[in-house]
Amino acid sequence: MSLLARIREDIHSVKERDPAARTALEVLLCYPGLWAVWIHRISHALWGARLRLLARLSSQFGRFLTGVDIHPGAQIGRRLLIDHATGVVIGETAVVGDDVTMYQGVTLGGTGKQRGKRHPTVCDCVFIGNNANLLGNITIGENSRIGAGSVVLTDVPPNSTVVGVPAHIVYRNGERVLITDPHEIKDPLSDALIALSARVDELEDRLGSQDHRTEPFANEEAERAAYREELERMRAYVSMGEGI
């Protein structure tokens, strides 16, 4: 595909996915996320040609101009939409597929100083909400959605929606995923939730045993109430002056 055809494709993709985009000229002049993608293609080509310093200088220029920091080594697919652009960071070994949408503040980062593949792989047609953090050598499956503010540390299956810190699956293949075990959340408060759940079970058991011990007294009280009702029913009331 020629350079001009690729530019037209990118502009058309933005117009399709962003209702705020009205004309091709507006997209061309007012979408820094698109500029960032185009600048990255230049820096990535320089990186592939082993002109590493020029590639880094090119990416730094793109960062200054757009607020998007994409490492020249990152592999970016076609029709990437970075909406609002500001604060997006994509690491060196990140891989982004086709038709991916990400909003401001998204980070595709690492978790340490290890070498090799250390950044996420985002498959085709993934939506990433604002300020989401995808960290480490993980894979986000096709057609998945990452909720705003989520911190994703493990692989996400295709056709899934994840939210939370750390992120957990709430929808898969269009069906709600119900979490019944606190261990599945992997939240820092999971241990407290587990302890609280165990305490509630213990109290319910104790309450049940107390109900069993007080059952004879409850039966005796019921018998007394029935006896009183019987006395009231059998009692004959005669008013003064009746029959006079």
User: How many domains are there within the chain?
Assistant: 2
If one compares 61 and 206, the residue with the highest pLDDT of the two is 61
Q: What is the pLDDT of residue 184?
A: 62
Q: Above 60 in pLDDT, residue 242?
A: no
Residue at 60 is within a domain = yes
Domain region containing 202? 190-234
Q: Which residue has the higher pLDDT, 5 or 228?
A: 5
Written as one letter, the residue type at 124 is D
Looking at the fold, whether 77 and 102 belong to one and the same domain comes out as yes
83 lies in the same domain as 194:
no
Own/partner long-range contacts of 38-46 (Cβ < 8 Å, ≥24 apart): 38/7, 38/10, 39/65, 39/66, 40/70, 40/72, 40/74, 40/76, 41/76, 43/70, 43/72, 44/72, 44/73, 44/74, 44/75, 44/76, 46/72
Q: Return the higher-pLDDT residue of 21 and 114.
A: 21
48 pLDDT above the threshold of 90: yes
**85 and 202 fall within a common domain:** no
Per residue in 204-217, pLDDT (tens digit) is 887 776 655 555 55
Spatial separation of the C-alpha atoms in residues 201 and 204, rounded to whole Å: 5
Higher pLDDT, 112 or 82: 82
Shared domain for 107 and 198, answered yes or no, is no
Q: Specify whether 207 is located in the same domain as 172.
A: no
Say if 144 falls within a structural domain.
Answer: yes
- pLDDT exceeds 80 at position 181: no
Domain boundary among 134, 156, 178: 178
Specify if 147 maps to a domain.
yes
pLDDT of residue 204: 82
- What was the pLDDT predicted at 185? 63
Is 106 found in the same domain as 141?
yes
CATH code assigned at 54: 2.160.10.10
Check whether residue 196 and residue 127 sit in a common domain: no
Segment 90-106 mean pLDDT = 94
**Per-residue pLDDT at 238:** 47
Instruction: Tell whether 165 and 195 lie within a shared domain.
Output: no
In-domain check, residue 183: no
Whether the model pTM is above 0.85: no
Instruction: Give residue 196's pLDDT.
Output: 80
- Answer whether residue 51 is part of any domain: yes
Same domain assignment for residues 221 and 135: no
Residue 93 lies inside a defined structural domain of this protein: yes
**242 assigned to some structural domain:** no
